[in-house]
Structure 1
């Protein structure tokens, strides 16, 4: 343990000077964003609900909302949810849209709601579909100056190279974007069955639609598919999630624009915001020694909640 602490301190001290500066006043960054999140509480007394209770959707969204408003100028927010999941709609520029959701095919439901949203929205500004378990570290507005319709993040994963939790929608050609999501929904409804409708089916459908891709070759390139211009982004920068869903609080964040706290990572989400990302955090929260002691406590918490996460076998 002593060697681990010494090694951790050495790593933190060498990287603490490279902690990214978060831009609070981003009025010069260009287009405003519409941030759209789909989130719905799983049925009670299920393994998925026990995972939900560790950091529920409202708590995740509050952190996400704070991170976006810290770096983007005048963003607006939409939450696509069910009739019952509680969200604080008093947060600035938040519109909570409710309708029934079938949790037996939750990923298909997300795609349906996203497609319906695009059909009803004027698309007068760029839209980003986010998961709620994300924190924005740097502005992403400059991406929309490029001539693309949809942007996806690539990762080195054979069957699912595209993560469905983050999709960028430009407003240059709204009709093509709506057709793309209609095609994605139709593909899932015709191909995804059983568990694929509940989990991962959207990512398998995206992989089928975009075809063969390679992270090294295709990142930061635009490919045209049936007239739709798709920009491929490196997930290591724009949709970062650590190996084995195991964040390290004192890690170097300088090359990351968006941090995705998937699965067991959600244990760390609040402390990453308060200790590492929040531009208004206090003096003590900026100290590497604080990161170390809090990080060791999070490791203990991770072990204590292991069985909760592994009980949700849909994600394994």
Structure 2
């Protein structure tokens, strides 16, 4: 009886052995035909904003939005830091252009052109647009601050704006070595500032070195006011491999602050050049930063797991660690866990293809005059991959 039962079961399943492969082949064929009709369906990036629900609803420490209207933001107009103190704050960024003479005169392919709002950009123009929006946000949030652009002397940057200075520094600005050159440019700039500091007494000038794809949305003068004893500040996140982001480095502008910040960055440059040249085009500087910090035996890396500000002495340098959640917040892109935006975020970092979102955000701010509502636009758009 048992043998007969197993034989009947086999005969019942036998047709499925022929049917399932045919079904799978049909599904695969359907998928291939679909991809032929839409060849870029998987890799397609949007050329417009795609708004979705704002993450973080129900979390009391997160920005709450109704569409693009902020409901609980703490971003209110404040008296600029530099109006209350003799200290000045300068934002310093490294920026160069590639193939400028060719790309700015000839647009060879329609795919090289993107449109944001009423403006169309080729590759060089979109980079310049991002740089200008970087400056725009600083002049709104910290209008008394200056912007200094460190660049290749061969670059003819068309920047003619009040409060903006172009500072040429000789070096190797190729794409493969730009991150390495960035640290060298920082050191050259600090050397010049130190010499100026020693020439005579004057107001203290503090420096915040940042990527140019950042939007400063709050006054950062509080960093130097609330923490008067640090020499250099870094931003951190809960990431074991890359806990430190090199896109934001603050330096106290006293002689001692500049000297110690230089010593720290020289050590980072040494480690970068000796251990991480294989990652010289990207991430090498962040890996070197983490190496220098973690090499200090007394440092407890578990502090990176909590988004709370702390100070540590690293090789004789007082380093202020600021959470990326506030001072280097990046809109998530694509899938992944996402718990919204902290209410008191200070800096938004538009990494990678999020630069369209940076331009769109500035356009929205110009029409709304509300930083808080603009942050809701970013929050609702942050999970979408855009075209550049």
Bin for the TM-score computed over the shorter chain: 0.7 to 0.9
**Which runs of 5 or more residues in structure 2 are unaligned?**
1-49, 58-63, 104-111, 115-121, 198-203, 295-300
Report if aligned partners of 2:82, 2:89 keep a CA contact under 8 Å in 1. Answer: no
Distance 1:151 1:140 in 2: 12
Specify the alignment match of 2:17 in structure 1. none
Specify the alignment match of 1:136 in structure 2. 216
**Which runs of 5 or more residues in structure 1 are unaligned?**
310-316
1:1-316 superposed matches below 5 A: 12-13=65-66, 16-19=70-73, 20-23=75-78, 26-30=81-85, 31-42=87-98, 53=123, 56-98=126-168, 99-100=170-171, 101-122=173-194, 124-145=204-225, 146=227, 147-172=229-254, 173=256, 174-194=258-278, 196-211=279-294, 212=301, 214-217=303-306, 219-244=308-333, 254-276=343-365, 281-283=366-368, 302=385, 305=387
Compared CA separation, residues 104 and 286, structure 1 to 2 (3 A): closer
Kindly state the Cα deviation for residue 187 of structure 1 after the two structures are TM-superposed: 1.6
Kindly state the Cα deviation for residue 76 of structure 1 after the two structures are TM-superposed: 1.8
Kindly state the Cα deviation for residue 85 of structure 1 after the two structures are TM-superposed: 3.9
Kindly state the Cα deviation for residue 111 of structure 1 after the two structures are TM-superposed: 0.9
TM-score under structure 1 length normalisation: 0.77
Compared CA separation, residues 59 and 85, structure 1 to 2 (3 A): farther
Q: Which of these two proteins has the greater Rg computed from alpha carbons?
A: 2
Kindly state the Cα deviation for residue 5 of structure 1 after the two structures are TM-superposed: 7.7
Kindly state the Cα deviation for residue 288 of structure 1 after the two structures are TM-superposed: 7.1
Report if aligned partners of 1:57, 1:132 keep a CA contact under 8 Å in 2. Answer: no
Q: Which runs of 4 or more aligned residues in structure 1 lie more than 4 Å from their structure 2 counterparts after TM superposition?
A: 4-8, 24-27, 42-46, 49-52, 283-289
Distance 1:5 1:72 in 2: 29
Kindly state the Cα deviation for residue 232 of structure 1 after the two structures are TM-superposed: 0.6
Deviating more after overlay: 160-169 vs 178-187: 178-187
User: What SS does the corresponding residue of 2:361 show, helix, strand or coil?
Assistant: helix
Report if aligned partners of 2:82, 2:221 keep a CA contact under 8 Å in 1. Answer: no
Number of equivalent positions: 286
User: What is the Cα-based RMSD across aligned positions, in Å?
Assistant: 3.6
